[in-house]
Amino acid sequence: MMDHLKIHEMFTSIQGESTYAGLPCFFIRLAGCNLRCSYCDTVKAQTDAHARLATVDEIVETARRAAPNLLEITGGEPMMQADGVCMLAERLLALKRFRILMETNGSCDLSYLPGEVIRIVDYKTPSSGESGRMFLPNFRNLRSIDEVKFVLSDFEDYRFAREKIREFDLTSQTKNILFSPAYGTIDLPALCARMLTDNVPARLNLQLHKQIWGPLKEGV
């Protein structure tokens, strides 16, 4: 049902990733994902086993009562519920209060989203096991407000990310390119050294929420 969404959880926390890291943010985490990335840290949100149905009206009212004006729709993969997500985004934007981020795995067409929604688009790296599942037009039709994230588990991922920056000429579309090390998987000083040596046009984007609460805590 378009006016209902499968919700895994809603909560207020500190934004842990993207160029908005460190800011208070209200999160709407939807249930269901079409990918099974090896480094997924929200496995419970991959299916609707732990989900509940909520109306768009209910979600909007919950967001309205929350303090932050920054809001992120995440998952799972939000665009698996594209009709409801677009309705939700339009309703939230109509309040003229929220800056809305959409965290998406890069495999679904994002052209349906309202233009004001800031897209944080993963390009899945080889270690994810899902790099061949990307919807490539997403990476040819970015806006300056959008962000592209590469999760890095090893230096093969690093080389892959550098090649995709060149292949899609990402720097001509957005300056917000994120290299996000999967927690505990890659030598951070070595990664920093490589980024500096190669003059990579990307921002090192550690997962701030995991630095604060640890890698296992949910709802943050």
pLDDT (tens digit per residue) in 41-68: 899 999 999 999 999 999 999 999 999 9
Which pLDDT band, with edges at 50, 70 and 90, does 23 fall under? very high
Domain assignment present for residue 67? The answer is: yes
Domains: count for the chain: 1
Task: Look at residues 61, 93, 91, 73 and name the one whose alpha carbon lies nearest to residue 30.
Answer: 73
Q: Which domain holds residue 46?
A: 4-213
pLDDT at 35 > cutoff 90: yes
Residue 109 is predicted with a pLDDT of: 97
pLDDT at 1 > cutoff 60: no
CATH assignment at residue 99: 3.20.20.70
Residue 2 is predicted with a pLDDT of: 72
pLDDT at 207 > cutoff 90: no
Domain assignment present for residue 78? The answer is: yes
**pTM above the 0.85 mark?**
yes
Is the link from the previous residue into 76 a cis peptide, with omega within 30 of 0?
yes
Q: What is the DSSP string of the chain?
A: -TTEEEEEEEEEEE--SSTTTTSEEEEEEE---S---TT-S-GGGSSSTT-EEEEHHHHHHHHHHSS-SEEEEESS-GGGGHHHHHHHHHHHHHTT--EEEEEE-S-S--TTS-TTSEEEEE---GGGT-GGG--GGGGTS--TT-EEEEEESSHHHHHHHHHHHHHTTGGGT-S-EEEEEPTTSS-HHHHHHHHHHHT-S-EE---HHHHHH-SS----
Residue 7 is predicted with a pLDDT of: 97
Mean pLDDT of all residues in the chain? 95
Domain assignment present for residue 14? The answer is: yes
Domain assignment present for residue 218? The answer is: no
Which residues are CB-contacts of 70 (< 8 A; sequence separation ≥ 6)? 15, 20, 23, 24, 25, 26, 98, 99, 101
Domain assignment present for residue 15? The answer is: yes
Domain assignment present for residue 220? The answer is: no
Domain assignment present for residue 128? The answer is: yes
Domain assignment present for residue 219? The answer is: no
